[in-house]
Chain A
């Protein structure tokens, strides 16, 4: 969901920074924060595989958590004027993936919205976008809602097939939770926002804890033998295999949800009624006038095909890669990108021009790895 950001400002540190450095995290600048890309003794490949087979623990505290309350109404009514999702219909304890839109229907950011009650929503946005997002929300719906940034909370993601077993040691309630459900709970007297969600394609949980409790809680989680810290490198390869978008790469303020093949974020009621930015354009696209489309791309052979590599059919440029790399679970290169809508069909063969050599690729259905969400 996130994009790096170049800045000369001193790097920020999450509450878990001391844990990363003491556990051999290789720290890199990311979205203004000093974050671990991988850990000594593991590395991206092992961390990726560990998450797909055991339980990976990610520090995602750099993301922006905020509470949106309505002044005298459901804040979802106001929020729906800037996102195309069904937020009004979101039941307490449920969460939804949606996008903030500009007037051209371009994606300002992708985000998670959780309903706590009839007057309260929790939003989680990308680290690199949080200032922009919060200013946008404030300017558009600030007169009807109150946005409270939870800068003093940490956010952990525990992901993988063993995540449920580990989480249940701390929160027995997780056994009753399904994908995209959320509860407010507590542990050792600290308020915890717990949801069954994540961005790896695996079952798992996102756990918001008070920043002052984050190190202690993380150390307790790491005492479970199934749990290992996982860096941003594997977070990227995991989300790519799962076919999930990285903001600033696969989606940005020039791509609409339709271009991005995220049509599913706009439910029937919103498609018919509109009432969100860029509706005219998006409505036309829904009626069939699309020009480009985000697709999965599987390169033949072993060479990774990376972002910005151009795609051709014959001599004609038909698209560009927006995310690409090596998929450790696929055990080969995986990519996604945008192609002209008229060729955006599964099975289409194209060439990626890599260092002057045409490399055959094929458009494939996403995800590359079957998702493992707890849906029932």
Chain B
């Protein structure tokens, strides 16, 4: 059983067995426009909740990707670097950025479920 949560910075985290798969939401990819470059964290890197975990660049601008939780990076999506446009075509699927071993489950309490996130972006 996996569950998905969202940050107010428009990252999602899909949680399964204590590991979170992180990417950006459909709302985020629409706001970014055509993504042409991504920078991923290194495997083994120690991330801090709310800290920078990567960079996503569209034709127009560069944006930072923040980690929704603290923890260690256990896997990165190397194919995304070769095909950054996946962020636009399949943000919640093939375009995941990295997997993080969640250090503290309490980090999840500040995140939104899908319904709350959808309400949140409606107000933006």
Interface residue ranges, A against B (CB under 8 Å): 37-38, 43-46, 48, 233, 237, 302-304, 306, 325-326, 328, 333, 355
Contact = CB atoms under 8 A, between A and B. Distances in A.
Interface of B: 33-34, 36-37, 39, 55, 57-62, 81
Given A44-B33, A44-B34, A45-B34, A233 B60 contact: yes
A233 B59 contact: yes
Nearest to B59: A44
B25 to A, nearest CB: 17
- Closest CB pairs A-B (n = 8): A45-B34, A44-B59, A326-B36, A326-B59, A43-B34, A302-B37, A304-B57, A233-B60
Given A44-B34, A304-B37, A237 B55 contact: no
A309 B58 CA distance: 17
A268 to B, nearest CB: 40
A45 B59 contact: yes
B59 to A, nearest CB: 4
A38 B37 contact: no
B33 A233 contact: yes
A355 B52 CA distance: 11
Nearest to B36: A326
Contacts of B36: 45, 302, 304, 326
A69 B61 CA distance: 42
B102 to A, nearest CB: 26
22 contacts: A37-B60, A38-B33, A43-B34, A44-B34, A44-B58, A44-B59, A45-B36, A46-B34, A48-B59, A237-B59, A302-B37, A302-B81, A303-B39, A304-B37, A304-B62, A325-B59, A325-B60, A326-B36, A326-B37, A328-B59, A355-B39, A355-B55
A303 B37 CA distance: 6
B100 to A, nearest CB: 20
A303 B57 contact: yes
A16 B68 CA distance: 42
A237 B33 CA distance: 14
B12 to A, nearest CB: 22
A355 B53 CA distance: 12
Nearest to B64: A355
Contacts of B55: 355
Contacts of B37: 302-304, 326, 333
Contacts of A38: 33
Nearest to A46: B34
B31 to A, nearest CB: 9
A221 to B, nearest CB: 25
B60 A44 contact: yes
Contacts of A37: 60
Contacts of A304: 36-37, 57, 62
A325 B58 CA distance: 9
Contacts of B57: 303-304, 326
Given A44-B60, A302-B36, A355-B55, 4 more contacts: A37-B60, A43-B34, A45-B36, A326-B59
Contacts of B62: 304, 306
Nearest to B81: A302
In the complex, which of the residues B39, B58, B60 has the most CB atoms of chain A within 10 Å of its own CB atom?
A: B60
A354 B67 CA distance: 20
B78 to A, nearest CB: 13
Nearest to A301: B37
A325 B39 CA distance: 15
Contacts of B61: 306
Contacts of A43: 33-34
Contacts of A237: 59
A303 B62 CA distance: 10
A3 to B, nearest CB: 15
B53 to A, nearest CB: 13
A236 B83 CA distance: 23
A233 B62 CA distance: 14
Q: Quick one: which of B33, B36, B62 has the most chain A CB within 10 A?
A: B36
A237 B59 CA distance: 8
A210 B59 CA distance: 33
A196 B57 CA distance: 35
Contacts of B58: 44
Contacts of A333: 37
A326 B120 CA distance: 31
Contacts of A355: 39, 55
Nearest to A234: B59
A302 B37 CA distance: 7
Contacts of B39: 303, 355
A306 B36 CA distance: 13
